[in-house]
Structure 1
Amino acid sequence: MLAIAGGKGGTGKTTTTLGLSRAFDEEILAVDADRDMPNLHSMAGVERTDDETLEPRRHPDDPTVSVLSPPPGIDDDAFERWLRTVADDNRHAVVDCPAGAGPDAATPLRVADAVVVVTQLCAPALRDAAKTAAMARALGTPVVGTVVSRARLAPGAVEELVGAPVLGTVPDEASPVLAQPPVRAAYSRISDTIGLKT
């Protein structure tokens, strides 16, 4: 299970989750771990999974990607059990983590095998990215790298601040972002760098 995390909202975690899920050359389960404001399903163009069975919804444009939303009204303990069940699925899982440093953000980091931190090139986002990386390490989960969104180049200071290599940058493009060839190409390069050994 690969967690896509970042301390600040709006940095591109959900876009990166879906972009990488579509770029990997494997069956992928794209999982929304944001219980308060799940929106991965909306970006993917599928209905939210909100029934008893919680069957993933197939991405309309990519048959290798299924999208799974968190169960509604689930408590903290049940949420962690749910994530661990998802991690045991035969498909590789890429998890869209909630922003912040609270228990909701810590749970998917604790369950994941590895973490990719997403940030923009602004001081608040970079500070929060460093905090997220530190939290992941404190939970015993390795940080495999950083994705810098809405940028074409990343200064070397990003690697030093986050303590992990920059896996790639994703250019700022018009919506729908994931339909833009430069964005798709960026996530393809990043997915090749990460691989699915995590």
Structure 2
Amino acid sequence: MLAIAGGKGGSGKTTTTLGLASALDGPVLAVDADRDMPNLHTMAGVERRNKAETSGVVLEPDVHPHPTDPTVSVLPAPSGTDDDAFERWLESVAADDRTTVVDCPAGAGPDAATPLRVADGVIVVTSLCAPALRDAAKTAAMARTLGTPVVGCVVTRARVAPEAVSDLIGAPMLGTVPDEASPVLTQPTVQSAYRRIVDNISGKK
């Protein structure tokens, strides 16, 4: 399970989750771990239905096929879960045989910590504005505190990024994603950017 995290809302985490899901060799499961402000299902064009209960009983995950990419399945965030049930839900998702990428909540609170704790690694996503960079560094530090390796960082809405970003995050620069018109994920330059990022994650040349 690969967590896609960042300190600021609007940094490009959801776009990056879906962009990487399509660029990775399938089958891939894209998961929304943001219970308070979920939008992965909206961006992917699928429904969100409540499949979990506050009693701690986690029902079968509500997985939807991606409407335009047959290699990707989308799992919206559950509603009505307490923290313990949510962590068990994520652990059940992590056991899935598919490659899994998880759109994490913004910030550094318990909601953001839970998917980082469950994940095998994290990619930190940030724009180049100073507040986003500061919060991205905090996210990377939180992941390390939880024992989750930081695989690398991705800079959104930019064609190049200074080496100082990698130094600040303390992880390799996996790539940049250009600022393009909506719908962003249909733009060839954005699709190419995420394919290059996947190549860098895999260590390909």
Which TM-score band applies after superposition, normalised by the shorter structure?
over 0.9
Q: Does 1:15 align with 2:33?
A: no
1:166: which partner in 2? 173
Question: Shift of residue 195 of structure 1?
Answer: 2.8
SS in 2 for 1:63: coil
Shift of 1:193: 1.2
Provide the residue aligned with 1:82 in structure 2.
89
Structure 2 residue 75 is matched with structure 1 residue 68? yes
Question: How far apart, in 2, do the equivalents of 1:39 and 1:96 lie?
Answer: 9
State the alpha-carbon separation in 1 of the partners of residues 61 and 153 from structure 2. 31
Tell me the residue number matched to 1:151: 158
Partner of 1:92: 99
User: Which string of whole-angstrom CA distances, capped at 9 and with x for unpartnered residues, describes residues 112-146 of structure 1?
Assistant: 00000000001000000000000000000000100
SS of residue paired to 2:165: helix
Deviation at residue 55 of structure 1 after TM alignment: 2.6
Structure 2 gaps of 5+ residues are 52-58
User: C-alpha displacement at 1:2, in angstroms?
Assistant: 0.1
* Mapping 1:37-186, distance limit 5 Å: 37-51=37-51, 53-186=60-193
Most deviating of 44-53 and 17-26: 44-53
| Alpha-carbon contact 1:49-1:56 (below 8 Å) kept | no
Structure 1 unaligned spans of 5+: none
SS of residue matched to 1:62: coil
Find the residue that maps to 2:7 and give its secondary structure: coil
Q: What is aligned with 2:54?
A: none
| Identical positions, percent | 74
Shift of 1:53: 3.8
Question: What do residues 75-127 of structure 1 show as CA deviations (whole Å, max 9, x unaligned)?
Answer: 00000000000000111110000000000000000000000000000100000
CA distance in 1, matches of 2:62, 2:123: 26
SS in 2 for 1:130: helix
Q: TM-score, normalised by structure 2?
A: 0.93
Counterpart for residue 55 of structure 2: none
- Distance across 1 between alignment mates of 2:60 and 2:151: 33
Q: By how many angstroms is 1:50 displaced? A: 2.5
CA-based RMSD of the aligned residues comes to 1.1
What's the CA shift string for 1:29-86, capped at 9, x where partnerless?
1000000011101100111142454330000111110100122110000000000000
Count of aligned pairs between the two proteins: 196
The residue type paired with residue 10 of structure 2 is G
